[in-house]
Amino acid sequence: MRYMWLVALSCWGELFAQDTTRLRLLFVGDIMQHDAQIASAFNATTQRYEYAHTFQWVKPLVQAADLAIGNLEFTLAGKPYKGYPQFSGPDELAFELKNTGFDVLATANNHSADRYKKGIYRTIDLLDSAKIIHTGTFKDSLARANTYPLIIDKNGIRIALLNYTYGTNGIPVPQPAIVNPIDTVLIKHDIQRAKDRHPDAILVLLHFGDEYQRSPNRFQKRVANLCFREGAQLVIGSHPHVIQPIEFFPEKNQLVAWSLGNFISNQRPRYRNGGLMLWVDLDKIRTDSVTSVTRIANASYDLAYVHVNKRKKFHLLPVTHPQVDSLLRTDSLALKTYTEFASDSRQWLRQHNRHVNESTALWMYAVIRRRDTPAPANPAGCSFMWDDVAYPCESLYATRAEAEIVRSLIQQAEPDSNPVIQLVRAAIDRKTEHRLKTPDR
């Protein structure tokens, strides 16, 4: 996937400054481990916990990000594995998150101290051994001083990442461990320390808000505003277990996602059985040999629904995935709750988001990934390939801007002889035409 953006950049070379680099970030919400998930993942034959099937549908999306970042809302404290209220999840899940494509996990949340000092320490050690970058909790103040704020250099873009939680469910954080608290003096101090390292962007991941409320509360607004005032560009929230809106202010180069909802959990009630995958592209534009400016170029979201099938297996399904309908066809109740989640979320976000629309990442990815596959079986109609299956182009959709990007990408990159590209190009032309007549969502 990475090369896609290299090609894209060559297309945009004429539009933008010659030397522009892009960092595509993906944020997901609460990664949880309830008892039902633990029981479901256990394979009695191998005596191991298996999660590959859970993430198989979102994996191509996660891997399309340059940096995929989530909130680890359970401890890796070892056996006995247990869900709510004091979580300790299987080690295998950490390795599967890495395998799925997650690069960074935030560990400061209200469950960080669930298994006391051992839980905090072992979570840190296990993430280290899974080679997942993490921040938010620390073994002691020296470890914090040495590793915080977290600085990540990727694609020539340097980001500072901070993470705080409103609390730890009344469990005192055991000495000398640290779970970063939302403390305005501390946050100010840390953002200043981040600025001293001259990052291109500052990201703050905040675990806050009212559970099951679909709008941010006053506390969330106050803390986010503080972060922006001090110099952050991105504030990403988690904890309410439901989706709250995303607001992008291009003129200020700031974006806040109030709550991404659940990424994976066994919370089944309405609004809680899915969450957001939020895409944010950062563009670093070099104006001359010494100066550069980094902007939030665009932001969009995918919805992901947590499907528990009749065998009680958990499958995380991107709502735009062309195969979802057929997966759910034999399960009318699942199809109903899935449809409800998709329409509830879309309606809410259309109404309350600011400059953030649903993504076209999935089909862009399908186009690029499958660009050298043979023509689909029905060349009379239009279809595109995804995992060796042809899907009708009607399942594609795009904002005008995104359709233009893909169009230019394909024109630049592909010879006319590739029939799949021709078909997709035709579909995009149709979509673009349609979009020209209707305003962007």
In the complex, what is the shortest distance from the CB of residue 73 to Zn ion, in angstroms, rounded to a whole number? 6
Interface with Zn ion, residue 239, by CB under 5 A: yes
In the complex, what is the shortest distance from the CB of residue 24 to Zn ion, in angstroms, rounded to a whole number? 26
Interface with Zn ion, residue 259, by CB under 5 A: no
Question: Which residue's CB is nearer to Zn ion, number 110 or number 360?
Answer: 110
Question: Which residue's CB is nearer to Zn ion, number 106 or number 159?
Answer: 106
Which of positions 96-125 make contact with Zn ion (CB under 5 A)? 109-110
In the complex, what is the shortest distance from the CB of residue 293 to Zn ion, in angstroms, rounded to a whole number? 35
- Binding segment for Zn ion (CB under 5 A), chosen from 141-149, 223-231, 238-246, 291-299, is 238-246
Question: Which residue's CB is nearer to Zn ion, number 74 or number 384?
Answer: 74
In the complex, what is the shortest distance from the CB of residue 241 to Zn ion, in angstroms, rounded to a whole number? 7
Question: Which residue's CB is nearer to Zn ion, number 239 or number 284?
Answer: 239
- Binding segment for Zn ion (CB under 5 A), chosen from 16-24, 77-85, 138-146, 239-247, is 239-247
Question: Which residue's CB is nearer to Zn ion, number 110 or number 357?
Answer: 110
Question: Which residue's CB is nearer to Zn ion, number 110 or number 273?
Answer: 110
In the complex, what is the shortest distance from the CB of residue 179 to Zn ion, in angstroms, rounded to a whole number? 12
In the complex, what is the shortest distance from the CB of residue 340 to Zn ion, in angstroms, rounded to a whole number? 24
In the complex, what is the shortest distance from the CB of residue 51 to Zn ion, in angstroms, rounded to a whole number? 21
Per-residue interface string for the shown chain with Zn ion, residues 51-90, x marking contact by CB under 5 A: ----------------------------------------
Binding residues for Zn ion, rule CB under 5 A, total 3
Question: Which residue's CB is nearer to Zn ion, number 265 or number 357?
Answer: 265
Contacts for 335 with CB less than 8 Å, ≥ 6 apart: 325, 328, 329
* Nearest residue to Zn ion on Cβ basis: 239
Interface with Zn ion, residue 395, by CB under 5 A: no
In the complex, what is the shortest distance from the CB of residue 269 to Zn ion, in angstroms, rounded to a whole number? 16
Binding residues for Zn ion (CB under 5 A): 109-110, 239
